[in-house]
Amino acid sequence: MLQWIIVVVVLVFVVGAFRSALSRTFRLGRLPGDLHFSFRGRQYHFPFTSTVLLSLLAWVILRVV
């Protein structure tokens, strides 16, 4: 169990470090279905499609491993 926690922490760190390069390459956060809007001077971002795709990717990886 401790090994999985360490793996998850390392993956979160690596993805966070390369987030801008990954978002440019895979367009995460700018897919159709990701909502962006402004209301009373504030900007809101709801990445529904990106979340679903990342969840499916994680599910496939965990099923293979």
pLDDT, tens digit, 9 for 90 and up, residues 19-45: 777 777 877 778 888 899 999 999 998
Enter the pTM of the model.
0.62
Number of domains the chain is built from = 1
How many CA atoms, within 13 angstroms, populate the side-chain half-sphere of residue 49?
11
**Is 80 exceeded by the pLDDT of residue 51?**
yes
Coil, helix or strand for 36? strand
Q: Looking at the DSSP assignment, which residues form a beta bridge with residue 46?
A: 35
**Is 80 exceeded by the pLDDT of residue 50?**
yes
pLDDT value, residue 18: 81
Containing domain of residue 22, as a range? 2-64
Looking at the chain, the whole-number percentage of residues with pLDDT higher than 90 is: 17
Looking at the chain, the whole-number percentage of residues with pLDDT higher than 70 is: 100
